């Protein structure tokens, strides 16, 4: 009996400890604009969210690869938009959004379905197909793309911030699906975001709820990085191994090779983004009476139905991305405040483009997360709104009644909402 009791007590205590650990309340995700350019002073200022690094790797190295400039000898082009990731993601720090837009075009077939363009280059001797993007630049004039007259669906798309996206990747699919299912009851049946299943490039045959890109075209950061490396810089990689054209091409595919520690650039890109902190609030402005009143009005008129204020990431050890990535302690069970739902909505500003989703997503766009909004000077998916008031007024479709409620506020109340938004 004595021996049995001595053995049972530690087991019971261990069980209680494990149960207590499993029930730990979620913690706030670390926040900060903590990734200033490191190339001029590597590792001296950049700070991660605490994500564990692979053997031989470190966060400043990941960031330095994200900032690396390419030329034709290292695989740039033949078609590209910029020479580095950081060129498009650097307001106010590496990994953030920018004032840069890209071109997307296409047309409808006889059934009214969206079709990607066929773009003739090299005086008609070659054609670029299979994608809606039109690159602004090329390494030679023969490869330069131009928007064909037949492609009458045309739009500009803003570069999105990647700060805090490691936490977004760590959101369980069912959390996003649950948000979508809850929206009709909150809006009298007017609002319901669409969650689409998209392929995980690093896990062939596996799907996941999309959350990255204006069309939610990717569900994992490695897929997102691989796609952007090809379509924004023309650098082929193991997940996107074929270039868009062979015109003027001199390098062999895939151009993104593993380094001395076995990591390719796309691995460093994904690791860097996963390691970033979430965009911080302006805590002084957020504590002001006007901003606090503005947040209550933001909620009362229904803005927070789509611009969801708080989301909790999945528990530690959760397998995501088709089993290729496990949510670690740095990303797990964290509360983030994106002021977005990562779902597709028709708010009257759709660009007509279909990417990973069905045809009904043509006029839908991902809700723009509002965290980091104060670092922007232009708004909406096309950056065509120069004031927050104009951005709000452009919300129609599913958001029409919310816009109506905002316009019914007094001018003082409207300015309080704007003050709140400027604190994000």
| pLDDT lower than 70: segments of the chain | 1-23, 39-44
Q: How big is the CA angle at 255 (ends 232 and 270), to the nearest 5 degrees?
A: 60
Is residue 128 within 8 Å of 145, Cβ to Cβ? yes
Residue 76: helix, strand or coil by DSSP?
Answer: coil
d(CA 272, CA 35): 10
pLDDT score recorded for residue 45: 82
pLDDT score recorded for residue 38: 80
Q: Domains for the chain: give ranges and CATH numbers.
A: 59-162+202-275 (no CATH), 165-196+282-422 (1.10.760)
Contacts of 205 (CB under 8 A, 6+ apart): 322
Q: How big is the CA angle at 291 (ends 287 and 295), to the nearest 5 degrees?
A: 110
Rounded to two decimals, the pTM is 0.93
pLDDT tens-place string over residues 16-54: 344 444 568 999 999 999 999 886 665 568 999 999 999
Q: Which residue has the tokens 């933001």?
A: 298
Residue 321 corresponds to which tokens in the numbers above? 């991305």
pLDDT tens-place string over residues 292-329: 999 999 999 999 999 999 999 999 999 999 999 999 99
Q: How big is the CA angle at 257 (ends 47 and 128), to the nearest 5 degrees?
A: 105
């Amino acid at each position: 009996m004595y021996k049995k009791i001595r053995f049972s007590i530690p087991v019971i205590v261990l069980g209680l400890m494990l149960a207590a650990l499993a029930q730990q309340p979620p913690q706030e995700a670390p926040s900060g604009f903590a990734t200033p350019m490191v190339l001029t002073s590597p590792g001296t200022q950049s700070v991660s969210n605490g994500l564990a690094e692979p053997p031989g790797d470190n966060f400043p190295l990941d960031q330095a690869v994200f900032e690396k400039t390419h030329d034709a000898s290292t695989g740039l082009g033949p078609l590209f938009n910029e020479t580095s990731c950081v060129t498009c993601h650097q307001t106010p720090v590496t990994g953030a959004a920018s004032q840069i837009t890209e071109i997307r075009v296409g047309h409808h077939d006889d059934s009214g379905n969206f079709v990607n363009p066929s773009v003739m280059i090299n005086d008609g001797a070659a054609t670029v197909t299979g994608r809606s993007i039109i690159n602004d630049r090329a390494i030679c004039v023969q490869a330069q793309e131009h928007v064909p007259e037949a492609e009458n669906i045309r739009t500009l798309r803003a570069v999105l911030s990647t700060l805090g996206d490691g936490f977004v990747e760590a959101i369980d699919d069912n959390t996003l699906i649950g948000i979508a299912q809850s929206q009709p009851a909150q809006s009298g049946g007017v609002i319901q975001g669409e969650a689409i299943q998209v392929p995980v490039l690093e896990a062939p045959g596996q799907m996941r709820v999309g959350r990255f890109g204006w069309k939610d075209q990717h569900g994992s950061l490695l897929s997102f990085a691989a796609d952007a490396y090809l379509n924004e810089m023309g650098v082929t990689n193991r997940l996107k191994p074929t270039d868009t054209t062979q015109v003027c091409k001199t390098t062999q595919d895939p151009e993104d090779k593993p380094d001395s520690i076995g990591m390719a650039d796309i691995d460093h890109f994904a690791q860097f983004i996963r390691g970033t902190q979430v965009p911080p609030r302006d805590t002084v402005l957020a504590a002001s009476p006007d901003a606090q009143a503005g947040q209550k009005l933001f909620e009362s008129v229904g803005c927070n139905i789509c611009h969801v204020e708080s989301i909790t990431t999945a528990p530690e050890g959760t397998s995501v991305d088709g089993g290729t990535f496990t949510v670690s302690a740095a990303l797990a069970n964290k509360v983030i405040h994106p002021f977005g739902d990562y779902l597709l909505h028709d708010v009257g500003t759709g660009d007509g483009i279909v990417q990973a989703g069905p045809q009904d997503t043509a006029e839908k766009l991902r809700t723009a997360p509002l965290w980091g909004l104060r670092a922007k000077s232009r708004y909406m998916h096309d950056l065509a709104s120069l004031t927050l008031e104009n951005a709000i007024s452009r919300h129609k479709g599913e958001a029409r009644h919310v816009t109506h409620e905002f316009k019914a506020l007094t001018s003082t109340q409207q300015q309080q909402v704007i003050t709140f938004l400027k604190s994000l």
